[in-house]
Structure 1
Amino acid sequence: MNLTRKVLLLFLVSFINGCAFYPKVEADQDYMKKCQMVTRKMTLESKSLGAFDCSDTTPELCLVVLIGVPAASLVVSGSVVLAGNTLHWMEYHGRCEQGLVKKALSQF
């Protein structure tokens, strides 16, 4: 592995070190009542897990906590947010007057 890849890997590991990701529903969605929507827009939030001391644990456990938990929570929560926002986008464009489907139908 060359030096550039090692530096990039170190940067990525330190960037996600000690975080957990979770989906959050946006609170301010004014158009939902007007369009009578069921789904809600979601965002991906992160929360620090705090300092994790690896001195009293095995290296494997430390690796799982520092890399596995953030990576797994990012993949799972990111998938939930992506699927939820896709459904939300489809519902918005199908129900709201400003949506692409309503605009296209009004042009006929």
Structure 2
Amino acid sequence: MKYRILQLLTLAFTLTLAAVLQGCVYVPRTTQVFDPECQRVSNHMVLQEVQVAAIHSCANEACIALIVGAGIFTAASVVISGPIVVAGNVAYWFEKKAQCQRAQP
């Protein structure tokens, strides 16, 4: 019984540690490029991958839980950051269309 409780506590600690170490591994980032059609600098959002920590190979249950937890948090960061990037790009597209002044030939 005590051994099982110790295993569960170790698993909970490992998952919490994975959450702290992994954080958000995909973050939205705004880039700027010159648009020759509109003669202005336009913004564009992309997902940037950021490596927070490295997990080395191991064979015990705690390491397996750490790897699984890291995968879950990586997927969660994409699910959260992805719609932010899409919404940002839509807003930047509307801004570009509103302010675009076509170059005179």
**TM-score normalised over the length of structure 2:** 0.54
What SS does the aligned partner of 1:26 have? strand
- Superposed, 1:1-108 pairs within 5 Å as 20-29=25-34, 31-32=40-41, 40-53=43-56, 55=60, 57=62, 59-65=64-70, 67-98=71-102
CA distance in 2 between partners of 1:69 and 1:93 (Å): 36
Structure 2: 5+ residue stretches without partners: 1-21
What root-mean-square deviation, in Å, do the aligned CA atoms of Structure 1 and Structure 2 show?
A: 2.9
CA distance in 1 between partners of 2:26 and 2:34 (Å): 22
Structure having the higher strand fraction is 2
TM-superposed CA distance for 1:27, in Å, is 4.3
User: Deviations 1:31-61 (Å, cap 9, x if unpaired)?
Assistant: 14xxxx8xx3211110223322464726444
User: Deviations 1:48-99 (Å, cap 9, x if unpaired)?
Assistant: 233224647264443121x11111111111111110010000111122113x
CA distance in 1 between partners of 2:54 and 2:94 (Å): 41
Quickly say closer, same or farther: Cα 1:22–1:29, change in 2 above 3 A.
farther
**TM-score normalised over the length of structure 1:** 0.53
CA distance in 2 between partners of 1:29 and 1:56 (Å): 51
Structure 1: 5+ residue stretches without partners: 1-17, 99-108
- 4+ long deviations beyond 6 Å: none
Paired residue total: 74
